Structure 1
Amino acid sequence: MLKAVVFDLDGTLLDRDASLRRFLENQYYRLIHHLSHIPKGQYISRFIELDCKGYVWKDNVYQQLVQEFKVQGISWQDLLEDYIEEFQHSCIPFPNLISMLENLENNSIKLAMITNGKGQFQMDNIRGLGMEHYFDCILVSEQEGMKKPDPAIFHKALELLGVLPHEAMYIGDHPENDVKGAKSVGMVGVWKKNEAWECEDADFTIKDLGEIPLIVSGLQ
């Protein structure tokens, strides 16, 4: 019987691609005095390219941007600080996020989150989506000293929830970090489909968060 659902954040609950584009457009206009010599579209597209779907931390991205575009009057450290402080205000959820969480909560399903990333930054983004209060526990890799797909971080979430691996489902967009990592400890692995990867060994594949309650009810 399924008792808990554990989620990834970026690319699963947070529409990171849309959020990043919104943030970069806002940053460009907010700092236009320093960036006006760069075409807006070029600034955004180059950042996205260097960002590699979030797997390159932004200190490296901004250092490269400042060098390539010969940015004057503002340092890469200032740009990074702006990213850390302001990204949370550009967070866009995937459709049906809150209704899905409320459905699971109303059906007494325990909820947790495991996300790789910087601790305070990820927590700010979770709050930016207005969903922190739905979760019984939230594990961020930097704060935990371990990251997906390390089995230890999945086991810690299960322990905090008080459930066995086969009583829990994990939902994420990355085939290795999320689906394979969860299945390796005995959890049900659900892949949130995207265009960046292929995933052939998920127990379930979804396109929309609204599909999750149906899968959960079928496993109860």
Structure 2
Amino acid sequence: MIRAVLFDLDGTLLNREESLKKFISWQYNVLHTHLGHVPKEKFCSRFIELDDRGYKWKDFVYKTLIQEFNIKDITEMELLNHYITNFHSYCVPFSNLLSMLDQLKKLSLSLGMISNGKGQFQMDNIVSLGIRPYFKTILISEWEDMKKPDPRIFEKALRQLNVNAEEAVYIGDHPINDIIAAKNVGLHTIWKRDIYWPDANADYTIDNLDEIPFLLNKIR
């Protein structure tokens, strides 16, 4: 019997790619005095390229942008703080996020989240999406001093939800950090398909969040 569902955040619940596009367009406009000598499309596309889908922290991204585009009168730390302070206002959820979570709660499932990233930054994004109240436990790698694919972070989440691995499902987009790592701990796995990866060795695959309640009923 499935009693709990664990989620990844970025690329699973949060449409990080669209969020980043919205944020960086806004940041360019707000800081046009410092950035206006660089064409907007060029600045935004280079930012996204350097970001490497979130796997490069923004101090590196902004330092590189300052060097490449000869940006004056604003430092990488000022740009980084601007990002940290404001990104959450531009978070874009994947379609059907709230309705899917509502359906899972009606199924009396305990919900948890495991996310790699900076603690307060990720929590601000979770709050911005309006999903904090749905989750019994949220583990963020910076605050836990361990990160996926470390099995300990999955095991801690299971303990906090008071379930065994075989009673839980993990849903994520990364084939290694999410799917293989969760399977190694003994969880059922659902891969939210990501166009950047050809496949993942998951038990099930979805394209949209609204598929999850039906699939969980099937698994149960």
TM-score range, shorter chain: over 0.9
State the partner residue of 1:194.
Answer: 194
Q: Which runs of 4+ in 1 moved over 6 A?
A: none
What are the equivalent positions in structure 2 for 1:1-220 lying under 5 Å apart?
A: 1-220=1-220
Shift of 1:201: 1.2
User: C-alpha separation between the residues in 2 aligned to 1:70 and 1:189?
Assistant: 46
Alpha-carbon separation, structure 1, partners of 2:10 and 2:123:
12
Deviation at 1:92, TM superposition (A): 0.3
State the TM-score, normalizing by the size of structure 2.
0.99
Q: Structure 2 counterpart of 1:150, which letter?
A: D
Count residues in correspondence. Answer: 220
The answer to whether the Cα contact below 8 Å between 1:170 and 1:187 also exists between their aligned partners in 2 is yes
Percentage of identical aligned residues: 54
Runs of at least 5 residues in structure 2 that lack an aligned partner in the other structure:
none
Write out per-residue CA displacement over residues 166-190 of structure 1, whole angstroms, 9 at most, x where no aligned residue: 1100000100000001000000111
- Paired with 2:214 and 2:187, the residues of 1 have a C-alpha distance of 18
Q: TM-score, normalised by structure 1?
A: 0.99
SS class of match (2:38)? coil
Residues of 1 paired with 2:152 and 2:28: CA distance? 40
Gaps in structure 1 of 5+ consecutive residues: none
* Residues 191-214 of structure 1: CA deviation (Å, up to 9, x unaligned): 110111122411001000000001
